[in-house]
Amino acid sequence: MKAETRKQKEIRKPKSEIRMAASRFDGPPGLSGRGEMAFRSGEERFGLRISDFGFSATVASFLLLVAAVATAATAFPAASALPAQTNLPNPLVMFDGRPVTNRAQWFAERRPELQALFQHYEYGTLPPKPERVEAKVVAAYSDFLGGKATLKLVEIKTGPANAPKIDLMVVVPNARTNPAPVFLTMNFCGNHAVTADPRVPLARGWVYTSCKGCPNGVATDAGRGSQATNWPVHLWPLDDIVQRGYAFASFYSGDIDSDRANVSDGLYAWLAGSDVARNDPTNRGSIAAWAWGFHRCVDYLVKDPDVNPRQIAALGHSRNGKATLLAAAFDERIAIAFPHQAGCGGTAPARGTVGESVKRINTSFPHWFNGAFKEFNDVPERLPFDHNAMVALCAPRPVLFSCATGDQWSNPAGQFEVLAAAEPVYRFLGAPGLGVKEMPPVGQLVGERLGYFIREGKHAMTADDWKVFMDFADRQFKSAAK
């Protein structure tokens, strides 16, 4: 570790250059100095113009925040200039080699620095919250699930008419005396696939042709309820969730980004405006866009009187699990993260030698990440972080990794290693960590604030998985209530 620290010092940058700035614009027209430069940078990068919306402090603030994140990371060196680190880098060591010595330094310096590093070298920039997010409950039905729950259909507008619009379905138990804890999930095939209830609208945009009832990439009634019971990969057992006292919220990934390598028609297309040259489909960073979608749904949930705003758990499977962990790492309103079988680019180490590699995932799904991440295809050991640092960004909040013995592509053993390497940050912050040194037997949930579970089977989300999710949530929420 000492040798690695000396190498890091060779590429040391001033803290003012590498810290992720949070510039804000508070006033009307009349930008000057760095504020004007940042504003122009935002216009140039995303193709947005004041004339698109009419000038306002809201628009200026939005562009300045985007520009601040986009430009702060420019001081980081190229991948070829970074030192190789065989082991998972220590999250408690600053990029310039200084140790993190106290809690205040972690939150004021190291945590923002890690967020900047992940955006620069892997995911791309997460756009900030728009100044105007409008959520409207367009319908509510108290007879859902045979009267056991109320179904709300919520429309979330994230900006002007051409900005992404999210259809969020929210299911709340009727038999409750207090606001309910909620699982916020992102689904693969549209809300209509989660339940057969015909009142849930079909997904509006492109849908995977692998989804039932979508042979031409367009949702049809034939797909209704296809993931509600026995779909082979993803299961949403709404009756069980409600019976356990949890609310459930879900949105379709295609509302934000349609997950096609050569087509970018969602969030980034909107940010680029009418200039298609500014919207690079291949390196656009779909995972970051989906994480942004999670955040916009949280904007609504914290204001829903039927939901406990302190008990929002984010959950996703596979690629959606990658977005889940990123969303939690960048939003402390998310109380627990459940990245299920998220693998490379999510819960597995980038330096792992089992399962999917950085090169393979970038080749198969180049649009999930930014262009800089491709520079590590053959040298993942040069990444100045690994995904133990992503878990550390969630500290001291709970995180559960769940895996399957037949899903070696997502590297279950490596995922345990990631959790173990994040534990020192939890201990440093005075919180319980993983609490075990070895992988547990199959079928046994272990852990404290950090949890790990592995079952028999393959890459899928099952009813047994959901039981474990809710058991872990029960434990964490009850512990927090003490």
* Tokens coding 137: 């409950």
* Tokens coding 435: 């609490």
pLDDT at 27: 27
Q: What are residue 8's phi and psi, to 5 degrees?
A: -65, -35
Given 23, 41, 56, 459, which residue is catalytic? Answer: 459
User: Among 7-16, 81-90, 195-204, which stretch is predicted with the lowest mean pLDDT?
Assistant: 7-16
Statement: residue 185 has pLDDT above 50: yes
For residue 74, name the pLDDT band (cuts at 50, 70, 90): low
Statement: residue 422 has pLDDT above 70: yes
- The predicted model scores a pTM of 0.87
pLDDT at 57: 32
Catalytic-residue membership of 318: yes
CA distance 10 to 96: 8
pLDDT at 46: 41
Is-cis flag, bond preceding 281, omega within 30? no
pLDDT at 347: 98
- Who wins on pLDDT, 286 or 482? 286
User: Among 58-62, 215-219, 223-227, 429-433, which stretch is predicted with the lowest mean pLDDT?
Assistant: 58-62
pLDDT at 161: 82
Longest Cα–Cα distance of the chain, Å, equals: 65
For residue 15, name the pLDDT band (cuts at 50, 70, 90): very low
The CB density around residue 479, as the number of other CB atoms within 10 Å, is: 12
Q: What are residue 182's phi and psi, to 5 degrees?
A: -135, 140
Query: Residue 206: what residue type?
Result: W
Statement: residue 39 has pLDDT above 70: no
Q: Which of 473, 434, 479 is nearest to 183 (CA)?
A: 473
pLDDT at 88: 98
For residue 479, name the pLDDT band (cuts at 50, 70, 90): confident
Chain position carrying tokens 């950090």: 450
3-state secondary structure 151-207: EEEEEEECCCCCCCEEEEEEEEECCCCCCEEEEEEEECCCHHHHCCCCCCCCCCCCC
Question: In angstroms, how far is CA 433 from the centroid of its own chain?
Answer: 21
Statement: residue 103 has pLDDT above 90: yes
State the pairing for strand pair 450-455/399-404: parallel
Q: Which of 187, 140, 161, 191 is nearest to 304 (CA)?
A: 140
Given 318, 357, 402, 410, which residue is catalytic? Answer: 318
Radius of gyration over every alpha carbon of the chain, rounded to an integer in angstroms:
22
Alpha helices of 278-411 — where are they, by DSSP H?
A: 286-301, 319-329, 358-364, 387-392
pLDDT at 1: 40
CB contact set of 67 (below 8 Å; sequence gap of 6+):
23, 38, 39, 41, 42, 45
For residue 64, name the pLDDT band (cuts at 50, 70, 90): low
For residue 341, name the pLDDT band (cuts at 50, 70, 90): very high
Domain spans of the chain, in order of start: 1-75, 134-481
pLDDT at 132: 87
211-235 burial by CB neighbour count: b if 16+ within 10 A, else e? bbbbeeeebbeebbbbbbeebeebb
For residue 234, name the pLDDT band (cuts at 50, 70, 90): low
Enumerate the β-bridge partners of residue 187.
252
The CB density around residue 354, as the number of other CB atoms within 10 Å, is: 15
CA distance 29 to 187: 42
- Who wins on pLDDT, 466 or 478? 466
pLDDT at 276: 81
User: Among 54-58, 320-324, 354-358, which stretch is predicted with the lowest mean pLDDT?
Assistant: 54-58
Query: Residue 478: what residue type?
Result: K
pLDDT at 304: 98
For residue 230, name the pLDDT band (cuts at 50, 70, 90): low
Chain position carrying tokens 């972690």: 106
Statement: residue 419 has pLDDT above 70: yes
292: exposed, middle or buried (Cβ count in 10 Å: 0-12, 13-18, 19+)? buried
pLDDT at 131: 85
* Tokens coding 22: 């949070």
What does the DSSP 8-state code read for residue 411?
A: -
For residue 160, name the pLDDT band (cuts at 50, 70, 90): confident
Query: Could you tell me the sign of the dihedral formed by the alpha carbons of 52, 56, 61, 64, in that order?
Result: positive
Report the pLDDT averaged over residues 239-256: 97
Q: How far is residue 172 from each of residues 296, 307, 473, measured CA to CA in Å? A: 19, 8, 17
Q: Which of 17, 182, 192 is nearest to 96 (CA)?
A: 17
CA distance 50 to 42: 11
Question: In angstroms, how far is CA 392 from the centroid of its own chain?
Answer: 14
Report the pLDDT averaged over residues 72-79: 78
CB contact set of 361 (below 8 Å; sequence gap of 6+):
344, 345, 368, 369
CA distance 18 to 71: 10
Q: Mean pLDDT for the chain?
A: 87
Report the pLDDT averaged over residues 269-286: 89
Report the pLDDT averaged over residues 246-266: 96
For residue 232, name the pLDDT band (cuts at 50, 70, 90): low
Report the pLDDT averaged over residues 124-134: 90
Report the pLDDT averaged over residues 199-205: 96
CA distance 398 to 172: 23
For residue 236, name the pLDDT band (cuts at 50, 70, 90): very high
Q: Residue 144 in contact with residue 199, Cβ under 8 Å?
A: no
Statement: residue 138 has pLDDT above 60: yes
Catalytic-residue membership of 16: no
Statement: residue 250 has pLDDT above 80: yes
CATH assignment of 134-481, given 1.10.3720.10, 1.10.1040.10, 3.40.50.1820, 3.40.50.300? Answer: 3.40.50.1820
